[in-house]
Chain A
């Protein structure tokens, strides 16, 4: 079936640098995407979302970019902090299945002090 997946399993960055986490999707009909952050031992936490009629959306220190042509999303974290260390998932709600989220395997972000 359709899938949402991530390019890299682990990303290591220096504290203060910017982080970029990538995500590819295969369903051309997907029109809404959500990024989640999952810290060790906790449930996923909503970060930011974007609809397909947008190319970019900004939050606090985070920006999501959507390239529909190549079916690619990225999450950019500015001035990465130790508290940003977590696994990041992109997800695609499926409206015909009760908004079931299809998750990729996740990218682990490790922040070096």
Chain B
């Protein structure tokens, strides 16, 4: 039982490049989330999903897209990366309103 895994762990992009971050969970959770965390700040929700095939916007969705084609996977896409998207990205999943389980994070640097 690996819990929540994220790939890649670290990535450097140039402005304008695109990439996809992958989140996978093996706990059969319905809910999945993508957060970003900037230095000295709490986590802010980008997008979330309440089930396979569904997605919704969070607090800071601009510049990101997501897809939940399979229950266990939640993908976060950056179509045209900007330096303001330099951050640490965390994926989380949960069964109910109770505990959200977080992945180890992806560090993204946009030059």
Contact = CB atoms under 8 A, between A and B. Distances in A.
Interface of A: 9, 32, 34, 41-46, 49, 89, 93, 95, 97-101, 103-106
15 contacts: A41-B105, A43-B103, A43-B105, A44-B102, A46-B99, A49-B98, A89-B42, A93-B97, A97-B45, A98-B33, A98-B48, A98-B56, A99-B94, A101-B45, A106-B41
B50 interface: yes
A9 to B, nearest CB: 8
B43 A44 contact: yes
B50 A98 contact: yes
B97 A32 contact: yes
Contact of A99 (B44, B90, B97): B97
Given A42-B105, A44-B43, A106-B42, A101 B100 contact: yes
Contacts of B77: none
A105 B50 contact: no
A105 B48 contact: no
Interface size class of B (residues with CB under 8 A): 20 to 34
Contacts of A105: 40-42
Interface string B55-84: 010110000000000000000000000000
Given A97-B48, A104-B42, 13 more contacts: A9-B40, A43-B103, A46-B100, A49-B99, A97-B58, A98-B49, A99-B100, A100-B33, A100-B48, A100-B58, A103-B42, A103-B43, A105-B42
A43 B104 contact: yes
Contact of B102 (A9, A41, A43, A98): A43
Contacts of B50: 98
B56 A34 contact: no
Q: Most chain-B Cβ atoms within 10 A of its Cβ — which of A49, A93, A101?
A: A101
A44 B98 CA distance: 14
Nearest to A32: B97
A84 to B, nearest CB: 18
